[in-house]
Structure 1
Amino acid sequence: MKGTEYAPAVPGDVAEKLGIESLADLDANGARFGRKIYGIEAGSPGNETIQKAIDEDAYGLGDWKLVASGTPAMLAQVEKSQKAGQPIVFLGWSPHWMTVQFDAAFLEDPDKVWGGAGEIRTVTRKGFEDENPEIAEFLSNLSFTTDEAGQFYYDHDKSGKELADIAKAWIVDDPEKVARFLDGVEDADGEKAEI
């Protein structure tokens, strides 16, 4: 999965209402945000990057404060702020259900304070591909967008749906994509694998 994010974000409605697209847009709106960026657990790499940006006055954030808390507390604060119509900046990542619930808008980083987009890869042990060529082919074909994965997380974590039910619904909704996962894959009888 390409295009994963781990960076400061704002809810989509805040981005639209205030025209916030970049970390460079924050300081001009500092009073609206209370000059706070909500992070996660103390010592996390994301918090350390935020604190370094504050310490170095990157993007004019030198007078801002990092509010470190646990992930659940940060997400609860985002929800509370959004319900109250208060702008908030928080450490976001995708894929995660926050991208669905808060329509998280990840802030551009023209000065490259953050590492940029990441990716999630499937890793197997040495020899797996030789021993399991069909499964290896399936895994190499398997791909989801961060939006799809975020929706899966939302459906399970926030809506309480069972994983098997989420998968079945997704297969019904997008059989062509699922069929692409099976390109070049044979079943146990040596036939083309099908849904």
Structure 2
Amino acid sequence: MRFASVGWTGVTVKTELAVKILQTLGYQASNTMLSVPIVYTALSTNEADVFLGNWMPSMKSIAEKYFADGSVVKYVANMTGAKYTLAVPSYEAKAGLKSFADIARFADKLDHKIYGIEEGNDGNEIIEQMIKRNDFGLGNFQLIPSSEAGMLAQVMSYAKEGKWIVFLGWAPHYMNTLIDMTYLTGSTDKTFGPNDGTATVYTNLRKGFAAQRPNVAVFLKHLVFPVSMMNEIMTAMHDNEDLKPLEAGLSWLKKHPKTYAGWLEGVKTVDGEPALPVFESFMASVK
């Protein structure tokens, strides 16, 4: 089972949990971290099987052509009620920067910059297109790409000093508890969607995977992640920097056995045995 993922905390947690569960059931499973465009190339060319991080509608410009030609299957929503759009520290919103249409009015305070995450990311692409089209009068702005950690360090540094910044924000993520932040309103179909960045995250499969691996397909269909679950896991990781994504995820599952029981309903091991008792046995050893 070849999972592809991207370097975002939440997607990493989900993917590492899925890989570990399948390994306990006797499958060979792996996780390869790629950029968003390469994920879809890999899925469409049978170099990867599963992707748990299809954020929609923001990834539409990258993913939709693969859904349309049938090389990648959208499959099932694994998280609803997520958020993905531009945000600001709340003191900026109180000063008047509340919507996309307000950004250009504060161009000098913002140094004509919008802070994104890694190169090739769909959010960065949306920002770049906004600038290219001069949407909301942003034609003289510059995208500043970075890693997730690098971008958040920049935001927290600016917020501490009361400096102005617009950045790519999302939920679930510990940033929502760490930073007093406000998501901007007024996004459009061409940007982060008409519902102010409200997002649904989908599990994607390569063409033919569900038919070839029906037992795994059942597991993936059940594999859903409430926003509250992911917020708790990522906050725990922030509070304990030594806590790895898999460790944090398993620790949460240890306290919420009904969650993994639901994931494994009707699922078998490689040998055809019921999956839940096998995984329960594994979880007994988790601290």
TM over 0.5: yes
User: Is the CA contact (8 Å cut-off) linking 2:155 and 2:165 kept in structure 1?
Assistant: yes
Output the CA distance in 1 between the equivalents of 2:263 and 2:244. Answer: 22
Q: Deviations over 1:111-151 (max 9, x none)?
A: 3331433523053635011xxx2x43232111113453354
Instruction: Say if 2:90 is the partner of 1:8.
Output: no
Instruction: Say if 2:222 is the partner of 1:137.
Output: no
Deviation at 1:16, TM superposition (A): 5.7
Q: Deviations over 1:45-99 (max 9, x none)?
A: 5334323323433223345x22424225433211211211223101234555544
Opposite residue 78 of structure 1, the aligned amino acid is V
Runs of 4+ in 1 over 6 A off after TM superposition: none
Output the CA distance in 1 between the equivalents of 2:161 and 2:134. Answer: 29
Q: What is the aligned counterpart of 2:264 among 182, 187, 192?
A: 182
Alignment of 1:160-175 (within 5 A): 160-175=242-257
Aligned to 2:60: none
Output the CA distance in 2 between the equivalents of 1:96 and 1:42. Answer: 20
Aligned to 2:29: none
| Percent of matched pairs sharing the same residue | 30
Output the CA distance in 2 between the equivalents of 1:44 and 1:186. Answer: 36
User: Is the CA contact (8 Å cut-off) linking 1:4 and 1:120 kept in structure 2?
Assistant: no
Q: What is the aligned counterpart of 1:68 among 144, 150, 170?
A: 144
Root-mean-square deviation over aligned CA pairs:
3.6
Alpha carbons of structure 1 residues 18 and 69: separation in structure 2 relative to 1, 3 Å: same
Aligned residues: 189
Unaligned residue ranges in structure 1 (runs of 5+): none
Q: What is the aligned counterpart of 1:52 among 121, 129, 145?
A: 129
User: Is the CA contact (8 Å cut-off) linking 1:3 and 1:118 kept in structure 2?
Assistant: yes
Q: TM-score, normalised by structure 1?
A: 0.69
User: Is the CA contact (8 Å cut-off) linking 1:41 and 1:68 kept in structure 2?
Assistant: no
Instruction: Say if 2:276 is the partner of 1:193.
Output: yes
Q: TM-score, normalised by structure 2?
A: 0.51
Structure whose residues are more often strand by fraction:
2
Aligned to 2:213: 128
Output the CA distance in 2 between the equivalents of 1:105 and 1:163. Answer: 26
User: Is the CA contact (8 Å cut-off) linking 1:97 and 1:150 kept in structure 2?
Assistant: yes
Aligned to 2:160: 83
Opposite residue 233 of structure 2, the aligned amino acid is F
Output the CA distance in 2 between the equivalents of 1:182 and 1:164. Answer: 18
Unaligned residue ranges in structure 2 (runs of 5+): 1-78, 194-198, 281-287
User: Is the CA contact (8 Å cut-off) linking 2:113 and 2:144 kept in structure 1?
Assistant: no
